[in-house]
Each structure stands twice: as structure tokens, then as C-alpha cells.
A and B are shown apart, each in its own frame.
Chain A
Amino acid sequence: MGIAVLLKQVPDTTAKISVSEGRVDESTVSKWSMSPYDEYALESALQLKESGGGDLVAITCGPARVVKMLTDAAAVGADSLLHILVEDLSALDSTQVQTILAAAVAHSGSDIVFCGKQAADTNAGSTGPGVAHLIDASCVTMVSEVTPDGSSLMAMRSSPNGNERVAVSAPCVFAFDKGITELRRPNVRGIMMAKKKVAETLGPADLGVDISTSSVSIDGHTPPPQKPPGQKFEGADSVAAVVGKLRDEANVI
């Protein structure tokens, strides 16, 4: 049983995003982090590895800076690290990203794949289902927990009516929502061991993937539209005035 976790490095959710000359200026991003849902995917993948055995490979795609995130994954227990070097991930379309990641999963020999339900940069959520199709795997999204169950795997996922416990067999992809367990933090030994772990770096071409033509081209970025300044009131006595405005000015109640 080989387990892969697909990770993406994104600007930390606390980071400001600035736009200059019509493009998001990545050089001003103060902190890059593992996308939050990917952290839960990694945690659950580690737990599955610990309960059922198997090697865990952490896979990511992006420029050189993403290797630090792979090292962080090694520090909490990932066995091997696979980095697909792509300088500008935002220039690729969804088909290209999925094709690269599916090829990387195949290269690692994994048949159980964990990922976040969406990454905190584009918030798209295409990768899990897309990779699942490309590796001919079943796909479960909005997952909060995965446990082994004999020869199959049991996943808890959210549903319109609450939650569902579902069973799937490998090959399968689990796209994680926020998990139900605490995330582990690396200990000193893990950090020291991770420093010795070298990521295997490949280019898309090494995996037989051609990224020369993208179907999507970015025309530009803008900051979000600024709202005109609002009205501010002092004290609870003003609640009546605000409710009046919600009714008469805004017409929302």
C-alpha cells in the first residue's frame, strides 16, 4: 500500500496580498505556508500509515520555494518527498496541473491519495476529482477522517444532511475538509531527520507531461473593490437607528 499526499504551498491566510502593475506581487507575501486543508490531509495520511503500514510520499508542484514545505512534511513523518518543478503554477490550466500530479502519483507507485478539498489561493477544488479520474481512482471529497476497515477504507464526509460514513477501495482519492483531529507538530528529532531528507525533483517533461500550451491565460489581477466608508454609531442606543436604516435605506429586513 503506497500513500501519497498532494500538498500546495500558498500565501499564509494571515498574509496581505498586494497587486502591482496588474498582477499579484508574490515577492511581497510575508509568509508561505502549507494550504490549511492540505495539513489535515497530511495528518490523516500519517495516521493511516501508522495504523496500516505503507510508505507516505509527499508530492508538490511549484517553484524552488515549495521544497521548504516538503521538508516540513518530512519533519512530521513523510517518508519521501517528490517535487515537480514548475516556475509559475498559475500559468498552467487545470488539465495540466492534474496531469502532472497524476503522473507524479503514478511515479511514486501510490494507490491511496490524500489532498485538501481546495487550496487557499485559488480555492478551486478541481485537483482531487481530476486526479482521481486520471488515475482511474474513486474520489471522496469533504472528508474529515479516514480509517482502515479490512481491505477497504472508511471515510467520514459531510453531506447536505449532515455526515456520511462511506467505504471505498484503493485506488482512491480523499479530498479533505477540516479534519476532526489535532494537527501534530514536529519534534526536534523529526526536524533533524527532515534536514537529511532530500526531495526528488523532476520537471513535467521527466514525467512525460507537456506544459507548452495552456487553455487559460491570466489577463490581470486587481485589488478587491473598496467599499465606501460606512456609518459608525456609538453605544447600544443607536441600535434602533441602525435597524431603521436596514429597513429603509438598505431594504434588507
Chain B
Amino acid sequence: MDVTVIAETSGDGLHPVTAQLVGAAASIGGTPTVLCAGGTGAAEAASISGVVKVISVVGDCFETFDSGAWAKALNSVTGGDVIIAAASPSGREIAATMAAIRGIPIVQDATDLTPGISVTRPIYSGKAIETSTVTTPCAITLRANAFDSAGEGGSAEVSTVNQSADVAVAVKEAIAKASERLDVAEADIIISGGRGMGDPVNFSHLNEIADMIGAAVGASRAAVDTWEEIPHGMQVGQTGKTVTPSLYIAVGISGAIQHLAGMRTSKYIVAINKDPDAPIFGVADYGIVATWEAALPALKEELGKL
């Protein structure tokens, strides 16, 4: 079974999830060919164990993001029974467009695959898990950190193909992020604040702790809806980002079902809340019943000792 893996990039290099896509392709008996849009990450992709071929697709259309153009260019250079991409915003969009071009079905955001192909994915933001069988050819996107990475040490052949497509989306202005903070969708540790923080100014305490441990700062919907200073990009939950970090620290978050849906699959959850009956304690591995005013200085001190 030939599997086309769409490389996920981060800046000028490969995103680590790409090795997970390759690992998942191999786990269903697939022979993976990796496509690198605009050539980004091709050399790195070639060193992933199990990759048989890397196609570096180079063309003018890859200078700005137009999913229609990217999908057309990528689609024309390869066949394959299964397309696998990351369930990131761009991965979902490119894979969905390629699937539509080919007239094949797509299943998004899989957390497990078994040969056949049986696909497991969370639905209703994790309030239920669905298992379905999809016939090939098909496209599937995979959630980051849900699959084992293929190792290194591969030495796949890299071929370069010049292939562009008409661009219909013209970028007129780029507006840089207000802060250089790590995005919650990318982070391995997240510390989030809720309305219990009392005032958006108090998120500075979360920022300080985040800087100490390389964490991203998130927020509950209540905090985002209440305070203009807390942007939607920080929101974790069903209408924000679904995250699966190694460690999630919830501060002053009661744990509305909406929020739990976005973070309950985190590996370890710490909850700090003054209300001992807050629902967040139901999903916490370590719950601390305390005010943030008392707990955060102590947390800062203890982390400083590490």
C-alpha cells in the first residue's frame, strides 16, 4: 500500500509530528513517500526511518499559503492509496482539498489507526470516541503526539519536482503576533488561567512561571470572553484549541465541560482552585485546593529550586 505523507513544517524545518505520520503509515502496512511543499524539510524527511522516497515539490505557489494551489501542485506529483497529513490547520486544509480533487473520503484528527483501515478519533471534542472503517483510497489526518514517531537513520532518495499552480489568494499585509509566546497548540507544558484569576493583569504570574519551565500560557473560554486582553488564540476548549501536552496546569479554572473537552487527554493535569468541589478536580492527577494568590508564589519558588 503506497502512502503519501504530507510533511508538516515549522518555520524553515520539519515539524516533529512528521516522524509520527511516517510511523503511523508504517503501522498500517504502508510504504511512505513524503511530500515536502516548497522543498521545506526535505533533507530532514529523508533521514526518517522507513521513508522510501522524498519528493521536494518546488514552485512559485509555495511562497504564500493558498491551500487550493498547494493541494493541486502536491496532488499532481504523486498517486498513493492513502494520503496522511497532520491534523494542523494547514494539514487539514491541504489534505481535505487533495481528497476533494481525487474524489476520495477524508477522516480528520485520528488518534489511532489499525490496518483495514480502522480509524479512531475523538468526536464532540473528546466527549466520545468513534471507531470507523474507511475504504481505500482515502485521506486521513492525525493528531499530534497520538502516534509513535518513526526513528532516525533513514536515507531515502530525494527528488525535486518543479510544480506550481495558479494562486487565487493574494497576501496584502502580514501582521506579526503581538507576543512571541509559545502557542498552546505547540507546547509540551501549558499553564492556563480562568476567570478565577480575577483580573487579566494577574496572568503575568502565569507568564513568569511559563518562562521558567518553557510552557505556553492558555486560558479558559470564560477568561477569553470576559477580558479583551486575553486573546482567543490562548483559548483551550471545545471552541478553542484541543491540546495534549505532557503537563497541563489549570489555575482558577472551574472545569466547565467545554474546557475539559479541550484538555482532558493531557498526560498529567494539575489543578489549582480554591473551590474543593470544582469539576476540574475530577480530571486532575494532582489537585491543590488553594487560592492562586497563595499557590503561585509557592509554585514559583519550588520550580526555581529544580
A interface residue numbers (CB < 8 A to B): 11, 13-14, 16-17, 19, 24, 36-37, 93-95, 98, 117-118, 120-126, 128-130, 132-134, 138-142, 154, 158-169, 172, 177-178, 214-225, 227, 230-240, 242-243, 245-247, 250, 252-253
Contact = CB atoms under 8 A, between A and B. Distances in A.
Interface of B: 10-11, 65-68, 71, 89, 92-93, 96-97, 99-101, 103-109, 118, 121-135, 138, 168-178, 189, 213, 232-233, 238-239, 242, 246-247, 256-258, 261, 264-265, 267-270, 276, 281, 283-291, 294-295, 297-299, 302-303, 306
Shortest 6 CB-CB contacts between residues of A and residues of B:
A138-B168, A236-B294, A239-B298, A133-B100, A124-B108, A93-B105
Contact of B123 (A123, A231, A245, A247): A123
A227 B283 contact: yes
18 contacts: A125-B108, A130-B99, A140-B169, A154-B172, A166-B169, A167-B170, A177-B232, A216-B133, A221-B128, A221-B129, A224-B127, A225-B129, A230-B281, A234-B289, A235-B294, A239-B288, A239-B295, A246-B247
Contacts of B11: 160
B268 A161 contact: no
Nearest to A11: B124
B129 A159 contact: no
Contacts of B122: 123, 224
Contact of A240 (B276, B286, B298): B298
Contacts of A124: 92, 96, 106-109
B261 to A, nearest CB: 8
Given A164-B175, A253-B213, A132 B97 contact: yes
Contacts of B171: 164-166
A234 B291 CA distance: 10
Contact of A233 (B178, B238, B239, B288): B288
A13 B239 contact: yes
Given A14-B258, A138-B66, A235-B294, A94 B96 contact: yes
B298 A237 contact: yes
A120 B96 CA distance: 17
Given A36-B239, A120-B124, A246-B286, A126 B106 contact: yes
A233 B302 contact: no
Nearest to B295: A236
B288 A242 contact: yes
B218 to A, nearest CB: 15
Nearest to B109: A123
A126 B108 contact: yes
Contact of A220 (B93, B107, B131, B173): B131
Contacts of B121: 122
Nearest to A125: B92
A16 B256 CA distance: 11
A159 B284 contact: no
A159 to B, nearest CB: 7
Contacts of A160: 10-11
B170 A142 contact: no
Given A162-B175, A164-B171, A242 B270 contact: yes
A222 B174 contact: no
A166 B99 contact: no
Given A162-B177, A219-B118, A239-B288, A94 B105 contact: yes
Nearest to A235: B290
Contacts of A164: 171-175
Given A126-B92, A215-B105, A159 B65 contact: yes
A160 B232 CA distance: 15
Contacts of A165: 171-173, 175
A207 to B, nearest CB: 17
A119 to B, nearest CB: 10
Given A122-B123, A224-B122, A168 B289 contact: no
B24 to A, nearest CB: 18
B299 A243 contact: yes
A204 to B, nearest CB: 16
A231 B283 CA distance: 10
B288 A252 contact: no
B130 A221 contact: yes
A158 B211 CA distance: 24
A216 B96 CA distance: 15
A215 B135 contact: yes
B68 A139 contact: yes
A252 B189 contact: yes
Contacts of A225: 129
Nearest to A227: B283
A222 B128 contact: yes
Contact of A121 (B103, B123, B133, B283): B123
B97 A178 contact: no
Nearest to B298: A239
A122 B268 CA distance: 25
A13 B103 CA distance: 32
